[in-house]
Amino acid sequence: MSANLLIYLDGKLVPESEARISVFDHGLLYGDGVFEGIRFYNGRVFRLTEHLNRLYDCAKSICLTIPISHEEMEKATLDTIAANNLRDGYIRLVVTRGVGPLGLNPYQCPKAGVFIIASSIALYPAERYEKGLNLITCGTRRPNSAALSPQVKSLNYLNNIMAKIECLQAGCDEGIMLNDQGFVAECTGDNIFIVKNGKVTTPPVSSGGLDGITRRAVIELLGEMGIPCTEAVMTRFDVYTADECFLTGTAAEVIAAVQYDRRLIGDGKPGKITNELIQCFKKLANSTGTPVTYA
C-alpha cells in the first residue's frame, strides 16, 4: 500500500494521512454500514454498475440513505482511481451510518459517511493460483437469513473473520461455512462451485451465501462454454467426492481448491474445467468494464 494514496472522503480527495473518520461514527462503533469490493483491470472497472446497484440495494435494506446519487458515486469511484493513476487494482467503497451519539439508534446520525479506497489486494499467494487451495470445514456457521440476510454486505464481518481464524489456525487457506441446517453456504470470502461428471453445481443463495458479482459472471461464462451449471443444495459429501472445485470472488477472482478436510478433490490438482474457466474469466475481466478517464 502506497503512503501517497488519495482517498475519497465525503466529497473530497484527501491524502491517506488525512483520511480520518470520527470515533463516533456508527460504522466503527456498531458495524453499521455497507461496502463493496470492486476490481479494475487495464483502466476499466469490472461490472461497476452491478456493484453499485448492489451497494444501493444493501443500503436500502438497512434503511441507510446514501448521501450521493448512483451517478455521483460512479464518478467518485472513477475519479479516485484516476487520481491515483492506477490501471489495475481493487476498490473498497464504504458507506457508514455516520456520526451520532452513543447508542444504537441510527436515526440520530444525520448523514451517512462515504469513503473510497483505490489500491491493490492479494487475497492468496501466487502459488495457490497454480497449485490450488486447501480447505477445511469451519465450525463457525453462517447466520440464519432471518437473523441477517446474507445478501447484505455489512460492515459487521465478524462471522467471516472468526471462520477465517479457524482456517489460518488449521494451516489452511480457506474454509467452507455451513448454514444452520448443515448445508454448504459459501467460503469465508468466496462463493463455491464443484464439478462432477462434467457438470458444475453451486449452492443457491437461499443456502446462506452471497449472490456474488463474480459468481454471476462465472455462471454466464459457463453457459458460453457450453458447460451445464445448476444451483443445488450441497453437502460436504458432494465436495469430498467432486472431480473439481473452485472458488469465486471479487478479490479472489477464480481459484481452484484441491483439498478439503484432508481429502484430495479429484486428483489433488486444478482440473480441466477450472483451468479453462480461469482463462476465460481473465479474458473477460481484462477486456470489459467501465473505462476510467485519466488526466
Residues annotated as part of the active site? 153
Q: Which amino acid is at 250?
A: T
Cell (9 digits) for 167: 482456517
Burial of 147 (0-12, 13-18, 19+ CB in 10 A): exposed
Reference 186, options 197, 196, 178, 195; nearest CA is 178
∠ CA(280), CA(228), CA(245), 5° rounding?
Answer: 65
Sign of CA dihedral 284, 1, 117, 74: negative
Q: Considering just the CA atoms, what is the radius of gyration of the chain in Å? A: 19
Reference 11, options 73, 104, 54; nearest CA is 73
How far is it, in rounded angstroms, from Cα 52 to Cα 54?
5
What length is written for the chain? 295
